[in-house]
Structure 1
Amino acid sequence: MEASTFIRFEDDNGTIRYGEPTKESLAGDLIGATVEVLQGDPFQGLKRSGEKAKVGVVLCPLESTPIVLCIGLNYKKHAEEANLTIAPYPVVFTKPPTALAGPYDDIHVHPDAASMMDYEGELVVVIGRDAKNVSVANALHYVLGYTMGNDVSARNFQLPDVSGGQFCYAKSFDGFAPMGPAIATTKAVSDPQALTYSTRVNGATRQETSTSDMIWTVAQIISHLSRGTTLRKGTTIMTGTPSGE
């Protein structure tokens, strides 16, 4: 993998391509930015082509995912804020592959799910090769890279008296897992517990955190999820939402 960060996009001709953005272009929405075209596949390796292209449409950096695995209650400040007890193991729920969406895609919400829509900004881990029974010490060797995601939720289907405590239905509608715009590979991110990020809604900051506040580290999460279960390459893991409004 030559590129440390990559996006997936449509060029001006409507051709879907991979590209390496500059740090300056990543600071914006990438629309209209000129990027270095990458050849190959993210899981086999992307190589610089020497060609440049203009970004017309920013797509989800992954064409597909076998499954979206999600961790609930994984930030200490969030647990304190909500006055919730931390369980011995991570809370795990899933979203189907059809929940995957691009960072700027419109989400067409079913009318029955529209009354209590909510957002959760989260660090997302992308598994780069099949993993099973992985130790904490070796877990990060199975990571392709990291991106950001929104754990979109229809809270009216998540309330305990309605759902019985399950999360999946409320979070599994089509488009409820937008991710991107870029994947930063392990070449760019050596320590996933030393990152900071924020969630903004209409320009207002609602969440801001360091991943050092995680209860379970990325390596611990991968090890736990791979216990007796194969994590296929392309599996995405939403690692939990931090405190905030």
Structure 2
Amino acid sequence: MSEFVIVPPTVPSVAVHGQAARFPLRRVFCVGRNYADHAREMGHDPDREPPFFFGKPADAIVPATGTIAYPPLTSDFHHEVELVVAIGTGGANISTEQALEHVWGYGVGVDLTRRDLQTIAKKQGRPWDWAKGFDASGPVTALHPVSETGHPDDARIWLSVNGEIRQQGSLADQIWSVAEVISDLSTSVALQPGDLIFTGTPAGVSALKPGDVVEGGIDGLDSFRFTIGATAR
């Protein structure tokens, strides 16, 4: 007799560059307003309002390739390209000096956002779940072990739509470094192997429509290309 009353779901996972084995996902954390220029374009003061955290379901993470359906319930669907950190060693109250020892690897992701739903949620003081945590809202490239990439801290990060650059910046522009993000997050929750962290996006976020070809990457790490499909049913 099974110990579960229904068939348990498949463990969400992300591909690993050059390996058949995959990186299993536990939780997905995202940093808000971690680039000053993006904070300003969203109407906030980065000097007064430090970054904060929100989440996505682990099964919202999909490969950053092929076709990704335009989601329902929105007419203002935005892209946000980000450095993604994969946690390999857990811990709580991790010091900034030791934080990078907990990193397994890095990838490039896109925090897809139903901006109109986010705007409504902000005005009503409600959570952002429907704006950030819908199906396929987190395309991610294959992860690269830190032994291959080191810790990228000043590489160019970029995204284009139909060949036109929309977002471009440097990881050095982050308000909080990867080490600081890990350290701060670990004071609120005990990080565990399999956790994924989206570390924020530079300015230039804007709307996507069906048929758009989205490309982007981080120099020296990885790149991606996917197409926005018809509205999901």
State the TM-score, normalized to the length of structure 1: 0.70
Q: 1:152 aligns with which of 112, 126, 129?
A: 112
Question: Aligned partner of 1:233: which letter?
Answer: P
Task: Check if 1:211 corresponds to 2:171.
Answer: yes
Give the structure, 1 or 2, with the largest relative contact order (CA under 8 Å, sep 6 or more).
2
Residues 25-59 of structure 1, C-alpha deviations (whole Å, 9 max, x = no match): xxxxxxxxxxxxx46x56xxxxxxxxxxxxxxxxx
> Residue 240 of structure 1: SS of its match in structure 2?
coil
Once the two structures are TM-superposed, the CA of residue 174 in structure 1 deviates from its matched residue by 1.0
Once the two structures are TM-superposed, the CA of residue 104 in structure 1 deviates from its matched residue by 1.2
Residues 41-90 of structure 1, C-alpha deviations (whole Å, 9 max, x = no match): 56xxxxxxxxxxxxxxxxxxx4x421210011111222344452224642
Contact 1:68/1:95, CA 8 A, preserved across alignment: yes
Contact 1:125/1:146, CA 8 A, preserved across alignment: yes
Q: 1:235 aligns with which of 181, 195, 199?
A: 195
State the TM-score, normalized to the length of structure 2: 0.73
Change (3 A) 1:162 1:106: farther
Contact 1:126/1:235, CA 8 A, preserved across alignment: yes
The CA RMSD over aligned residues, in Å, is: 2.2
Q: Which residue of 1 aligns with 2:64?
A: 103
Could you list the runs of 5+ residues in structure 2 that have no partner in the other structure?
1-13, 206-233
Question: Aligned partner of 1:222: which letter?
Answer: I
Give the ranges of 4+ consecutive aligned residues of structure 1 lying more than 6 Å apart after TM superposition.
Answer: none
Once the two structures are TM-superposed, the CA of residue 106 in structure 1 deviates from its matched residue by 3.1
Q: Which residue of 1 aligns with 2:89?
A: 129
Query: Structure 2: how far apart are the matches of 1:236 and 1:196?
Result: 21
Once the two structures are TM-superposed, the CA of residue 165 in structure 1 deviates from its matched residue by 5.5
Task: Check if 1:199 corresponds to 2:159.
Answer: yes
Change (3 A) 1:229 1:82: closer
Change (3 A) 1:164 1:199: same
Could you list the runs of 5+ residues in structure 1 that have no partner in the other structure?
1-6, 9-17, 21-37, 43-61
